[in-house]
């Protein structure tokens, strides 16, 4: 950290750099914009193609920054000395990071007077890494939360400042949990900043023996293995909603599964066999054993179409799945365009 006077000694609001890119980081920036603190710059990842048309589009954090005339910086990384000097010239008291997507070198971590803090979407030390929300759903965790932590050179290993938790409901998708945690993070961030200013912060070291790792999600992770239990597959469906979306294969066609729940039923059919097709859902055998579990597919998507509930599919008389069909898991990832929610 720099040797400049602490903000409390100057009696002024903090000069804050905010670093974030996706929707998760928007509430934190919005809260700071509504506070007395000064946002001197926003750092965000370079604009990238998105959507069906693959048009270059600024990320959500950049859009909010531009609406408030906040200077925006988009370096490819922060290892370049020129970029580091540019950041230091902003003379930040604090840098707040939320789903930025870039690793901060030690020289950057040491630049702000009060260091750098991170809005992390888990109850650390559980789920350090890139996909804490998805991994919490996949693991069947019953609760999650947000940790405001002081950043160090490790992967989410810094001291914890404050935490807040929420319940993961049995039907919560990763998208739903994302929204819960994004809302928790903003007021928690303001609490942590107040404690840093007043000197009331009590950093707590993490117990490394309790840590778990949340790796980056890949598209092929969403491929369904029907030999898993109905509970495991339903978690997979929820964890990968709204990206990359759980999927399976029916003949030559890929079928995306947006919503599914295990049902209290058993079957002796082979895993992946369609047992029934009703407006209430499409029931599929899953799991290994003489008597296996059943998963009810409630919302699915065919190639080139929109995601529809089973009832909508039946009402439109567009049923393309029948009893006795067999869902399969393709051996390799095959990208099929034209799939939109």
Interval 125-164: pLDDT, tens: 999 999 999 999 999 999 999 999 999 999 999 999 999 9
Show which of 214, 245, 263 is a domain's final residue: 214
Beta strands in the chain (DSSP E): 15-20, 38-43, 48-50, 55-57, 72-73, 94-98, 116-120, 128-129, 143-150, 160-167, 213-214, 246-250, 253-267, 274-278, 281-286, 292-302, 308-309
**Residues 172 and 231 both lie in one domain:** no
Measured in degrees and rounded to the nearest 5, phi and psi for residue 288 equal -105, 135
Here the tokens at position 178 are: 């994302």
Domain tally for the chain? 2
**Does residue 134 lie within any of the structural domains?**
yes
Query: Which residue, among 243, 222, 241, 225, has the nearest Cα to 299 in the 3D structure?
Result: 241
CB 248 within 8 A of CB 233: no
pLDDT in tens, 90-131: 999 999 999 999 999 999 999 999 999 999 999 999 999 999
Which of the four pLDDT bands, split at 50, 70 and 90, describes residue 180?
very high
Show which of 214, 232, 265 is a domain's final residue: 214
Residue 47's CATH number: 3.40.50.170
Residue 341 in this model has a pLDDT that exceeds 50: no
**Residues 26 and 61 both lie in one domain:** yes
Question: Which residues lie below 8 Å from residue 289, measured CB to CB, with a gap of 6+?
Answer: none
**Residues 168 and 41 both lie in one domain:** yes
Query: CA-based angle 156:161:167, to the nearest 5?
Result: 80
88: number of Cβ within 10 Å: 15
**Residues 210 and 272 both lie in one domain:** no
Distance, CA of 170 to CA of 262 (rounded, Å):
11
pLDDT in tens, 264-310: 888 999 999 999 999 999 999 999 776 779 999 999 999 888 999 99
* Domain membership of residue 152 as a residue range: 7-214
Query: Which residue, among 296, 152, 275, 168, has the nearest Cα to 233 in the 3D structure?
Result: 296
174-198 vs 26-33: helix axis angle to the nearest 10? Answer: 40
Residue 299's CATH number: 3.10.25.10
Show which of 152, 179, 214 is a domain's final residue: 214
Query: Which residue, among 73, 4, 78, has the nearest Cα to 41 in the 3D structure?
Result: 73
Residue 340 in this model has a pLDDT that exceeds 60: no
**Residues 42 and 128 both lie in one domain:** yes
Residue 334 in this model has a pLDDT that exceeds 60: no
Distance, CA of 297 to CA of 259 (rounded, Å):
6
């Amino acid at each position: 950290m720099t040797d400049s006077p602490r903000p409390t000694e100057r009696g002024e609001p903090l000069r804050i750099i905010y670093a974030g890119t996706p929707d998760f980081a928007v509430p934190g920036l919005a809260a700071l914009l509504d506070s007395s603190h000064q946002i001197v710059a926003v750092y965000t990842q370079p604009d990238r193609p998105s959507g069906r048309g693959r048009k270059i589009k600024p990320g959500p954090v950049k859009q909010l920054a531009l609406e408030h005339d906040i200077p925006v910086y988009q370096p490819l990384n922060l290892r370049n000395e020129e970029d580091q000097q540019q950041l230091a010239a902003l003379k930040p008291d604090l840098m707040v990071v939320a789903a930025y997507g870039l690793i901060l070198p030690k020289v950057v971590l040491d630049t702000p007077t009060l260091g750098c803090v991170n809005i992390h979407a888990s109850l650390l030390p559980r789920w350090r890494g890139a996909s804490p929300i998805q991994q919490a759903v996949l693991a069947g965790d019953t609760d999650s939360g947000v940790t405001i932590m002081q950043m160090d050179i490790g992967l989410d290993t810094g001291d914890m400042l404050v935490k807040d938790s929420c319940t993961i409901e049995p039907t919560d998708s990763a998208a739903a949990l994302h929204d819960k945690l994004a809302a928790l993070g903003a007021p928690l961030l303001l609490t942590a900043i107040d404690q840093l200013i007043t000197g009331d912060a009590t950093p707590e070291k993490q117990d490394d023996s309790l840590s778990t790792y949340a790796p980056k999600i890949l598209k092929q992770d969403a491929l369904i293995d029907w030999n898993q239990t109905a509970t495991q597959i339903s978690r997979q469906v929820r964890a990968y909603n709204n990206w990359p979306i759980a999927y399976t294969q029916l003949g030559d066609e890929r079928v995306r599964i947006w919503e599914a729940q295990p049902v209290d039923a058993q079957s002796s059919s082979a895993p992946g066999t369609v047992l029934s097709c009703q407006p209430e859902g499409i029931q599929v055998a899953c799991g290994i054993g003489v008597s296996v579990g059943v998963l009810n597919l409630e919302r699915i998507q065919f190639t080139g179409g929109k995601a529809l509930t089973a009832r909508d599919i039946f009402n439109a008389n567009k049923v393309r799945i029948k009893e006795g069909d067999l869902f399969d898991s393709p051996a390799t990832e095959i990208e099929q365009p034209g799939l939109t929610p």
